[in-house]
Structure 1
Amino acid sequence: MKPTKRPPISCAARRMLALVLLMLVPLAPAAAQTAATPAPLPAVTTPYVLVDARTGEVIEERDAARPWYPASTTKLMTLYVALAAVRAGEIDLQSPVVMSARAAAEPPSKMGFKKGTVITLDNALKMLMVKSANDVAVAVAEAVGGSVEAFSNRMNAQARRLGMVATHFVNPHGLPDPRHVSSARDMALLGRALTTDFAEYRAYLNLHAIQIGKTVLKNYNTLVERFRGTTGMKTGYICSSGFNLVASAERNGREMIAVVFGSYNALERAEQAAVLLEKGFRSRALFGGARPQLAGLRSGAEFREPLDMCPYLKARRGAIAAGDSEQPEFKTLPNGMVVIQQGDQVRPTHLGQKIAYGPPIRVYVGGAAGASPAGGLAVADAPVPKARPNPPAALAGASQMTAFVGQANATGAPFPATEGPLTLLPSAPSKAAVPLPRAKPN
């Protein structure tokens, strides 16, 4: 029997078959490729606010009421609650703060004291504000409130009293917790409250450096070292928040507070704050005038959840390297202008010449200077130089301080002009990507 002869396939049928095969074969690889390629991140604008500390007038802001992770700017409220307890007579600056097991187990930034180490509240607050020590924050919370949870309740009560409507605290240090949120507006309110309610304790906000034993720890706030008229305040960083800063400065009888959230590196947050503060000093005071008041600010309140900055920081690893891992070098040109040099690149900066301070503030372990319990760190006492001014009563204790750091009024070089809305100088590109910093930078 002869095989049946199949009719020839037409050209049109061949083309149709080829088209079907082309459509079917790439399906699996294409799907895999799509899954492996991350979707581009949506554009993001990060919050900031500039306020006149004396009048409460908002000079400039962007999404200032937007919920945000405050990170270690939280420690401004830790300081506030501790000082409120001192004023109420519950505790005093020489009261012992004991390092518990819970406190000693906190991640960096930290002092690294062993369980059972005792420090005074005064020394604890200095370590808290300069080193941004998370272990000390927990120890202070336990000494003042009895527990972290009870202290957090005090923090939230003070936040409600101050009108911090977007804020909820669950710890005294700001380490990651999805329930731990605030806003630039609320942190500006807190900054104002510290300047007015506890004016006699303001030196805690502007300590340029502390020394324990032979170790010197510098303040993370670049403005303390390089912004004329700075009165300090606090930095903060976790991956989800980006680099945060609450900064204040005073010139010619006017004081400004700038809050910057979500910067990509420590240098950028300092630049942003410097731009805002300079703009504030150039603005005219409008007492009882047309500008909105900080307390009534609601811009950004439509955002329901804090933005997670981690994906954005990962996408900008080069910028983080340029700002932190590759430390910039500040140089003063013959005309007095300060510039930043990173590798072969030189660019202008809104930060000024380095401010001259006295020796770092000595801090000690023990219930009294020089004393050390078992497991603690013994540090020899040091006399206070007689030639230097006496510290204010709020930070008194001759055996605990070798110098008083007051407001620095060094004459700086002219700052680059900045007009219009917030303008940032471009960051120097990085030559190589580096891992993201963990919670240690502040």
Structure 2
Amino acid sequence: MMKAQLCIVKISHPCQCPERRLPMPCKGRKHSKDGGIRALILSLLLIAFALPALALDIPGRQIIILDPDTDTILFERDADKPVPPASMSKLMTIYMVLDALKSGRITEDSKFSVSEKASKMGGSKMFTREGDKIRVIDLLRGIIVQSGNDACVVVAEGLAGSEANFAKRMNEKAQELGLQNSRFANSSGLPDDGHYMSVRDLAILAEHLREDFPEYFPMFKETEFTWEDIRQTNRNPLLYMDIGADGLKTGHTSEAGYCLTATAERDGRRVVVAFTGLDSKKQREEVARQLVDYAFREFVQLTPIKEGQSLVRVAVSEGTSPTILLGAFEGMRLTLPSRDAEKLEARTSFDSPIAAPIRKGDVVGQYQLVAGSQTIGEYPLVALEDVARAGFFARTIDNISIMLGIAEFPSPEIID
């Protein structure tokens, strides 16, 4: 008779690992009671996992801190509320230009003409002049570094014929990128009732920019750009601090307050922060630093389970071997509060004995990762080796022993 078994594996020394992402959903085979093999797709529960918030008393209407390497939300406040994004929505305009460059529709040396509308844009400016023809690469810097509203209109008209058509394309691309609470009415982020984003969407967009266009991402940490003999500095306050910041975009309107979408990297680990609704540049600078420091100080990345790691040895019936090793299909990287890292354990569950034949990779149970009282996720427990079916005589002895209740199978053995 098979019995359900639960074993707890302490993870005492989780290691740092260069893997970048959590494992994708695992395609495996589940070992059924009658010895057959059937296909099974197991979805992980940890993708976009939101940790319980640690105490963080900090101003800001909407806030999100994302660890993009593990898709983990470290902190959020009203993160899905659509709000005026101010110049942070220029990140979408930048994405559209970079996407056109990547597709080959334009080149860095392609030139766009400055219209009367573009040259007369108010607010932050690149200081373009009507009738000028400006290279795309210069316009990009005029948007990224100088936050030029005029440069935004120039690229919008150059790519789509008009700013209205460009906004339609922005909305189509936003849907493709999974920005669920964003809508664009213009290229610059100037106030408009039909123009909004959530801070979660801003964090997602920031990661798309970094991952989709790695060759252009370093432009976001450029601290100055000169056009028409007018030198302007990047408004991102984090770039001038020694905290690993390398992008992305500030914003400010009376509706949005002072806001920022930023990313920083330390020792190979990256975080993205986005927030709105602060009262001053000074407060924006202080909050930005606090959020980044909080993310790196209070959380740790670790690799508790490696690909193919053995977790438990269990009994086999009707097989050529009395036991089999079970373990993880894939390795994973997690982000956890530092306080919980030493509490992490794997809890395996499976039926024992497992009837042969068993093939390496067969899903025969599951394991949970648990930190204290919190379940992080559930994952497939797979066979790490083959066990062939025994001959007729050996199988008959096993079956008779099981029916008579005298079968003796090895107890599960935890692998440290």
Q: What TM-score bracket applies, with the shorter chain setting the length?
A: 0.5 to 0.7
Number of equivalences: 249
Corresponding position: 1:218 with 2:233: yes
Asked whether the 8 Å contact 1:97–1:143 carries over to 2, the reply is yes
Counterparts of 1:137-176 in structure 2, within 5 Å, are 137-176=152-191
Mean alpha-carbon deviation: is it higher for 247-256 or for 265-274?
Answer: 265-274
Secondary structure at the aligned position of 1:205 is classed as helix
The aligned amino acid for 1:197 is D
Residue matched to 1:85? 100
1:289 CA drift (Å): 4.9
Corresponding position: 1:106 with 2:121: yes
CA distance in 1, matches of 2:257, 2:228: 32
Corresponding position: 1:194 with 2:205: no
Asked whether the 8 Å contact 2:126–2:227 carries over to 1, the reply is no
CA distance in 2, matches of 1:104, 1:45: 34
Corresponding position: 1:65 with 2:65: no
Corresponding position: 1:285 with 2:285: no
Structure 1 moving runs of 4+ over 3 Å: 286-291
Asked whether the 8 Å contact 2:64–2:75 carries over to 1, the reply is yes
The aligned amino acid for 2:194 is R
1:290 CA drift (Å): 8.0
CA distance in 1, matches of 2:274, 2:282: 15
1:45 CA drift (Å): 5.8
State the Cα deviation string for residues 343-371 of structure 1 (Å, max 9, x = none). Answer: xxxxxxxxxxxxxxxxxxxxxxxxxxxxx
Q: Which runs of 5+ in 2 are unaligned?
A: 1-58, 303-331, 337-416
Aligned partner of 2:130 among 111, 115, 118: 115
CA distance in 2, matches of 1:224, 1:285: 24
* 142 and 214 in structure 1: CA distance in 2 versus 1, 3 angstrom threshold: closer
Q: Which runs of 5+ in 1 are unaligned?
A: 1-43, 292-442
Q: Decide which structure has greater strand share.
A: 2
Residue matched to 1:50? 65
CA distance in 2, matches of 1:167, 1:198: 21
RMSD: 1.8
Asked whether the 8 Å contact 1:245–1:270 carries over to 2, the reply is no
Asked whether the 8 Å contact 1:50–1:61 carries over to 2, the reply is yes
Corresponding position: 1:185 with 2:200: yes
The aligned amino acid for 1:250 is E
Asked whether the 8 Å contact 2:127–2:228 carries over to 1, the reply is no
TM-score (norm 2): 0.58
Counterparts of 1:373-388 in structure 2, within 5 Å, are none
Asked whether the 8 Å contact 1:207–1:219 carries over to 2, the reply is yes
State the Cα deviation string for residues 122-173 of structure 1 (Å, max 9, x = none). Answer: 0000011111110110001111122111211121112111211110001110
> Kindly, what percent of the aligned residue pairs are identical?
35
The aligned amino acid for 2:197 is S
Aligned partner of 1:135 among 142, 146, 150: 150
Counterparts of 1:221-240 in structure 2, within 5 Å, are 221-240=236-255
1:213 CA drift (Å): 5.0
Secondary structure at the aligned position of 1:200 is classed as coil
TM-score (norm 1): 0.54
The aligned amino acid for 1:262 is G
Asked whether the 8 Å contact 1:227–1:274 carries over to 2, the reply is no
CA distance in 2, matches of 1:47, 1:169: 19
CA distance in 1, matches of 2:268, 2:136: 32
* 56 and 93 in structure 1: CA distance in 2 versus 1, 3 angstrom threshold: same
CA distance in 1, matches of 2:152, 2:175: 21
Corresponding position: 1:95 with 2:107: no
State the Cα deviation string for residues 199-239 of structure 1 (Å, max 9, x = none). Answer: 11112211100123543211111111124211110001111
The aligned amino acid for 1:264 is D
State the Cα deviation string for residues 53-81 of structure 1 (Å, max 9, x = none). Answer: 22221111111111110000011111101
State the Cα deviation string for residues 37-66 of structure 1 (Å, max 9, x = none). Answer: xxxxxxx96010000122221111111111
The aligned amino acid for 1:89 is G
Asked whether the 8 Å contact 2:127–2:227 carries over to 1, the reply is no
CA distance in 2, matches of 1:267, 1:223: 12
Residue matched to 1:209? 224
CA distance in 1, matches of 2:334, 2:103: 36
